[in-house]
Structure 1
Amino acid sequence: MHSVDLNCDLGESFGRYTLGLDAEVIPLVSSCNIACGMHAGDPVVMQKTVALAADAGIALGAHPGYPDLQGFGRRDMNLSPEEAYAYTVYQIGALAGFCAARGVQLNHVKPHGQLYNRAAIDARLAEAIAQAVFDINPSLVLVGLANGELIDAGRAVGLTVAQEFFTDRNYTDEGVLVSRSLPNALITDEKFAVERVVRVVKEGTIESASGKTIEIQADTICVHGDNAHALEFVKRIRSALAAEGIAIEPVAGA
């Protein structure tokens, strides 16, 4: 039987500023990626989000990003591998502390934003991130863009990896995400997006933005729950997967 993980990026509020509908989306996913205070989040938000996820019984992951609160981690900072390693260790360690205080295990690590995008194509950066994850805890799962450099780097150091697919993003013929700066970066046809999720889980293929059939392994599906409309979309994905007999469960580490 087919199975897949549904993950969502959470804990991205900061101080008095609220972002996302964390309490509403958590029951709809099997894994969450919690911001660690660099691109978003703060210690109080981290603590609250860990508690929400722990109470719901879903898998908890660290979501480290560039140190860029103003840019939400979506600006390229051109970190050296040494800096990327240190920032990754720092952020995973912070979230692991909140998990330990709550009595739950940290399950995985998924980089955020431009750190994620750069690690998909930059082998040296990917190697630094993978080594940081391994050095913190070799049983952690490393989540990265399907077919990207981060997946190769994780395997090379001995980590369990999870290849990620994005429901609402178009892909190039090379299997990478179409840049957000381009008009066709996002998929707005929900029916098409839901059908594509089922296809990628069952067949391992999708159509690129140009219409070419490309192969993608989808161990985990990224969904977004930033607003009520997005929450309904997540529910449609869950219903479609259930109708096809596809189980929803987190990716387990070593």
Structure 2
Amino acid sequence: MTRIDLNSDLGESYGQWRLGDDETMLSLVTSANIACGFHAGDPSTLLETCRGAAVHTVRIGAQVGYHDLTGFGRRFIDVEPAELTAEVIYQIGALDGLARAAGSAVSYVKPHGALYNAIVHHREQARAVVEAIRSYNTTLPVLGLPGSAFLKEAERAGLIVVTEAFADRAYTPEGTLVSRREPGAVLHDPDVVAQRVLRMVTEGVVTAIDGTDVHVDAQSVCIHGDSPDATAMAVAVRALLDAENVDIRAFV
């Protein structure tokens, strides 16, 4: 039986500003990439999200990012490696404390936004993130894009690497994500997204933005929680995978 993990970015509300339907998403996914306060998420929101994840037996991942609340972590920051390492350790530790208070713990790490995209190729920052994870807990798996410098550096450092694909993001013919600045970068139709995920999971391919098929090696599929269509897409994906007898479970 084909097996896949479903993950989503959660805990991204801040104060009176609400983003996404975390409670519904936690009933549909198996892993939650929870913000750590640097790109989004205040302490109360993060604790509430960790508690929800614990209730639903959803694995908690620390979604570490650049220190960029104003830009939602979607702007590249040319931060010094030593500083980036310290910032990532700080974020993992903060979320782990909240997760443990909620009766769970951080069980993996996934970078967010601009940091995620930067360390596909930016080897110096990739090493800095890996060093942070290795320093905090060498047993924590890392979630990232197949072929990225981040996963290569993580593997070299002896960390467990988990590859992911994106349900609602367009791909280039090279297998990377189309920039959010480009038209068509984000998909919105739940049925289209569900069929796309089924192909990723069962055939290992996704149709790129130019119409060609690109190989994807995914142990987990991300459905972004901050999209207006996120819940509808998650429901459609989960229903189709269940109907096709795909084994949906966390990778850890």
Q: Which of the five TM-score ranges fits, normalised by the shorter chain? A: over 0.9
2:27 alignment partner, SS class: helix
Q: Please state if 1:180 is matched with 2:180.
A: yes
The secondary structure found in structure 2 opposite 1:158 is coil
Task: Flag the 1:113–1:225 CA change in 2: closer, same or farther, 3 A.
Answer: closer
Which residue number in structure 1 is paired with residue 160 of structure 2? 160
Q: Which residue of 2 aligns with 1:133?
A: 133
Q: Which moved more, 1:190-199 or 1:15-24?
A: 190-199
**Shift in Å at residue 248 of structure 1?**
0.8
Contact 1:21/1:227 (CA < 8 Å) preserved in 2?
no
Question: Mind listing any 5+ residue stretches in structure 1 that lack a counterpart?
Answer: none
Cα RMSD between the aligned structures? 1.5
**Contact 1:141–1:251 under 8 Å retained in 2:** no
**Structure 1 residues 210 and 225 mapped into 2: Cα distance closer, same or farther (>3 Å)?**
same
Query: Contact 2:193–2:233 at 8 Å: present in 1 too?
Result: no
Residues 67 and 53 of structure 1, relative CA distance in 2, 3 Å threshold:
same
Q: CA offsets per residue over residues 58-102 of structure 1, 9 Å max, x none?
A: 101111111111110011111122122111111001011112223
- Structure 2 distance, partners of 1:116, 1:16, is 27
Cα distance between partner residues in 1 of 2:189 and 2:35: 28
| TM-score, structure 1 as length reference | 0.94
| Displaced runs of 4 or more, over 6 A | none
Shift of 1:21: 1.0
Q: After superposition, what is the alpha-carbon deviation per residue over 1:163-210, rounded to whole angstroms, capped at 9, x for unaligned?
A: 111111111111110111111212234333222211111121222111
Give the partner amino acid of 1:246.
Answer: V
The percentage of counterpart residues that share the same residue type is: 41
Long gaps (5+) in structure 2: none
The residue identity in structure 1 corresponding to 2:204 is G
Q: Following the alignment from structure 1 to structure 2, what is the Cα–Cα distance between the partners of residues 205 and 188?
A: 19
1:207 is aligned to: 207
Give the distance between the partners of 1:105 and 1:163, measured in 2 at CA: 21
Q: TM-score, normalised by structure 2?
A: 0.95
2:190/2:237 contact within 8 Å kept: no
Residue 228 of structure 1, CA deviation = 6.8
- How far apart are the structure 1 equivalents of 2:213 and 2:81? 34
Cα separation, 1, equivalents of 2:129 and 2:225: 27
Structure 1 equivalent of residue 32 of structure 2: 32
Secondary structure, counterpart of 2:107 in structure 1: strand
How far apart in 1 are the matches of 2:244 and 2:159? Answer: 30
